[in-house]
Amino acid sequence: MEFAGSDRLRPAGRSLAAATALKILVAGGFGAGKTTLVGTISEIRPLHTEELLSDRGMGVDDISGVETKVTTTVALDFGRITIREDLWLYLFGTPGQDRFWFMWDELSLGALGAVVIADTRRLQDCFPAVDYFEQRSLPFVVAVNCFDGARRHDPAKVRRALGLDELTPVVMCDARNRASVKDVLTTLVTHAVGAAYQSVP
């Protein structure tokens, strides 16, 4: 999969009706790296709906392991990637806290698949996202965000810890690195297309 630049022009005569936009969700626990991933790969200035953490979140938001985090997504993150002149990926980063999960049903409508970002320091935080997409049969990959100083784990061990089947990809990534994020998205699209073919009788 080749990611084109946003400055490429549509070929003359190419119908807008033939254009396709694929929707991908980016989910995971609080502070796992969703906003970072969307911002790293988006060719446009990403839309962020972040607010400063306040005293109201004390006792509600668990910031153990991410004590330096000072903002949180309260609605969504949005970014765009051009694959070719008539094909785009739209990325929607979901809010991580429980109290914002009511938005997930709306965000997941029409999605091709999802990236679940896992932070091995707080692996339990991505269980709700995994359960959500499994229950709705939405293809997803688990991207283990390799934070500086965090212990590295074998993908097979992460798979077992999350109770994933053998068909669900688990990939290591650095949400700050464009090439790494590109690999994650390529893995997801390949997985989602394969799942779609398998579901055809």
Q: What CATH number did the domain enclosing 147 receive?
A: 3.40.50.300
Segment 82-95 shows an average pLDDT of: 89
pLDDT in tens, 123-149: 999 999 999 999 999 999 999 999 887
Mean pLDDT of the residues in the chain: 80
Highest mean pLDDT among 11-15, 22-26, 83-87, 151-155: 22-26
Range of the domain at 46: 18-199
Residue 172 belongs to a domain: yes
pLDDT of the residue at 103: 78
pLDDT of the residue at 36: 92
pLDDT in tens, 66-81: 454 444 444 578 899 9
Residue 8 belongs to a domain: no
Segment 69-98 shows an average pLDDT of: 77
- Residues 115 and 130: their CA atoms lie apart, in Å, by 10
Residue 26 belongs to a domain: yes
Q: How many domains does the chain have?
A: 1
The band of 102, judged by pLDDT with boundaries at 50, 70 and 90, is confident
Residue 6 belongs to a domain: no
Residue 3 belongs to a domain: no
Residue 145 belongs to a domain: yes
